[in-house]
């Protein structure tokens, strides 16, 4: 009798916060507000009303985002691609991957997309094993070293 071979579907599922949250003190907002106020005053002094409006809106947006608490994401990696909640990043739409792993500071999966407007997708690993995720991804994508952007490094440096 022929024996049925069970094909084991590899899937890793985990939950992680949307982003690393850093508690901001009052002084964080005071320093940021002071810098924004100085730039705003300079813009007004030089009669650049549009720039003053942009600075005011930028500080307001940053302050609101700084107070935002991260939501829990449902994440998975399987034979179809990488899923973030209900959004699937198919392997056909991706060029490569890299895992940034320097606990406790950095634990994230970086996917290089084929899209020009959004070239990189960063996915938090939470407490999930990067070794197991890497094993699955190597079957579908090349592993290529990605660089951390200057914006990411600056955000980490100021606790954003």
Span 77-96, pLDDT tens digits: 999 999 999 999 999 999 99
Are 77 and 141 within 8 A, CB to CB?
Answer: no
Whether residue 120 lies inside any domain: the answer is yes
Residue 96 and residue 44 in one domain = no
Which letter does DSSP use for residue 141 in this model?
S
Residue 11 lies in a domain: no
Model pLDDT, residue 101: 87
**Which pLDDT does position 8 carry in this prediction?**
55
Residue 58 pLDDT: 93
19-31: pLDDT as tens digits = 888 888 898 899 9
Give me the pLDDT at residue 21, please.
Answer: 80
Query: What's the pLDDT at 9?
Result: 62
The reported pLDDT for the residue numbered 18 is: 85
What pLDDT is stored for residue 106 in this prediction?
Answer: 80
Residues 143 and 126: beta-carbon distance below 8 Å: no
Q: 139 and 85, same structural domain?
A: yes
First to last CA, the chain: 62
| Distance (Å, whole) CA 46 – CA 48 | 6
Vertex 147: Cα angle to 144 and 152 (nearest 5) = 140
Q: Do 83 and 47 share a domain, yes or no?
A: no
**Confidence (pLDDT) at 6:** 42
Q: How many domains does the chain have?
A: 2
Kindly state whether residues 90 and 149 are assigned to the same domain. yes
With beta carbons less than 8 A apart as the criterion, state whether 127 and 137 touch: no
Is 47 among the domain residues?
A: yes
Q: Which domain holds residue 43?
A: 25-67
Indicate the helix (H) or strand (E) that contains 120.
strand 120-124
Please report whether residue 15 resides in a domain.
Answer: no
Domain end point (choices 67, 100, 123) = 67
Enter the DSSP assignment of 130.
Answer: H
Task: Identify whether residues 120 and 150 lie together within a single domain.
Answer: yes
Of 15, 38, 67, which closes a domain?
67
Task: Say if residue 77 is in the same domain as residue 100.
Answer: yes
For position 117, what pLDDT does the model report? 81
Residue ranges of the chain whose pLDDT lies below 50: 1-7
In angstroms, rounded to a whole number, what is the distance separating the alpha carbons of residues 8 and 10?
6
* 7 inside domain: no
């Amino acid at each position: 009798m022929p024996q049925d071979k069970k094909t084991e579907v590899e899937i890793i599922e985990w939950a992680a916060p949307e982003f690393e949250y850093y508690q901001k003190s009052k002084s964080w907002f005071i320093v940021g507000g002071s810098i924004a106020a100085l730039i705003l005053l300079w813009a007004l002094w030089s009669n650049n009303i549009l720039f003053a409006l942009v600075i005011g809106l930028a500080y307001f947006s940053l302050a609101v985002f700084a107070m935002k608490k991260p939501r829990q994401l449902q994440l998975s990696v399987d034979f179809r691609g990488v899923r973030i909640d209900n959004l699937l990043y198919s392997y056909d739409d991706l060029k490569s991957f890299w895992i940034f792993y320097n606990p406790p500071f950095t634990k994230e999966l970086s996917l290089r997309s084929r899209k020009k407007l959004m070239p990189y997708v960063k996915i938090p690993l939470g407490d999930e094993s990067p070794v197991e995720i890497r094993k699955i991804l190597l079957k579908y994508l090349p592993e290529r070293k990605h660089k951390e952007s200057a914006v990411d490094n600056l955000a980490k440096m100021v606790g954003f």
